[in-house]
Amino acid sequence: MADASDADVAQRFRDILFNYHNVTAEGRLGVNTDREEMQRWLPALTHILQEFNLRGGIPAGIGSKSDLPFITFPEPPNGFKILTGATIPEQPLIKLGKKAHMAAMFEEGAIRIAAASSYADPSLNRAIKDNELSLSTFALRNEISAQVLDRKTGKPGPPLQAISDVTITNSVFDFYAYCMCEKYDYRLLDDFEAVAMVVIHDHRAFGQRFLKAIKDRFGDDYTYIWVPVYYVDPYNYDHTRLSTHFSKHFRYAYQHEHLSTAE
């Protein structure tokens, strides 16, 4: 990240912290101890701290409480209180929301599928608000190769040296999207400002019924897909998995989303 701006480094630090931490059953700030999560976030945090060290240290005032999960102490988080002795299955699908909406989903099978563009609404909270129609990544300056073709001969000229990292943005047309979480965390209800949730125990059965209901309603004019979201580190990602429809910035990785799309 030698050529990244100070602002980009600071934002990356905040995004990593948001995922590195969680909330305990007591409502205190905790650290994500899941082995797979630690293998992702601890090296990323170490790297960004080293980058700050090369730039003279961590800037004062770089973060705030809004860059951390919602802390409820001395009250337990709503994500703990809502369980009241219940357990979450090992491989759930979880929908969070308002009580009336979750009751309608559980009792009547009624769900709302929204246009992906609607999630850019500035009135939405941080956990929900996102530009689902575009995704930006970075090409590092020292990895970029560019040449200008001679207009007369069509032959390439000498190599050009990029002056900074290059932002690459992929965009798609609007589509319908429906998101659920496939992993539970105590922080989720408070982060989403939700008060209720529906927990699906059988992925396959729910997915089949869900896609059948969409097809029965809208016919064969749409393409339907139901897959886990790939969370993209804009500086270090798998090109073969990158898809604007099914990829999101890694600041949302703690949500562990499963996404259904129709377009």
pLDDT tens digit string along 199-248? 999 988 998 888 888 888 888 777 788 889 999 999 999 989 999 999 99
Give the per-residue pLDDT at 82: 95
Closest CA to 222 of 254, 176, 188: 176
C-alpha span between 61 and 13 (Å, rounded) = 12
Residues 121 and 227 in one domain: yes
Three-state DSSP class for residue 134: strand
Residues 260 and 195 in one domain: yes
Question: How many alpha carbons lie under 13 Å from residue 117 in its C-beta half-sphere?
Answer: 6
Report how far apart, in Å, the C-alpha atoms of 105 and of each of 98, 108, 157, 197, 247 are.
11, 6, 61, 10, 26
Give the per-residue pLDDT at 232: 96
Residues 247 and 201 in one domain: yes
Closest CA to 199 of 85, 83, 98: 83
Residues 94 and 213 in one domain: yes
Average pLDDT, integer, range 11-35: 94
Average pLDDT, integer, range 164-190: 93
Give me the residues paired with residue 159 across strands: 147
Of 59, 76, 93, the one marking the end of a domain is 76
CA Rg value for the chain:
21
C-alpha span between 190 and 57 (Å, rounded) = 32
Residues 186 and 140 in one domain: no
Give the per-residue pLDDT at 8: 92
pTM of the predicted protein model = 0.89
Number of domains forming the structure of the chain: 3
Residues 4 and 120 in one domain: no
Give the per-residue pLDDT at 99: 96
Report how far apart, in Å, the C-alpha atoms of 76 and of each of 84, 97, 127, 232 are.
12, 19, 20, 31
Does the pLDDT at position 189 exceed 80? yes
Residues 139 and 165 in one domain: yes
Of 143, 169, 195, the one marking the end of a domain is 169
Residues 44 and 7 in one domain: yes
Give the confidence band of 179 by pLDDT, cuts at 50, 70, 90. very high
Residues 180 and 120 in one domain: yes
Residues 90 and 161 in one domain: no
Residues 117 and 234 in one domain: yes
Of 49, 76, 103, the one marking the end of a domain is 76
Structural domain boundaries, residue 94: 84-133+172-263
Q: What is the pLDDT of residues 115-135, one digit of tens each?
A: 999 999 999 998 999 999 999
Closest CA to 232 of 19, 38, 2: 19
High-pLDDT (> 90) share of the chain, %: 65
Residues 37 and 144 in one domain: no
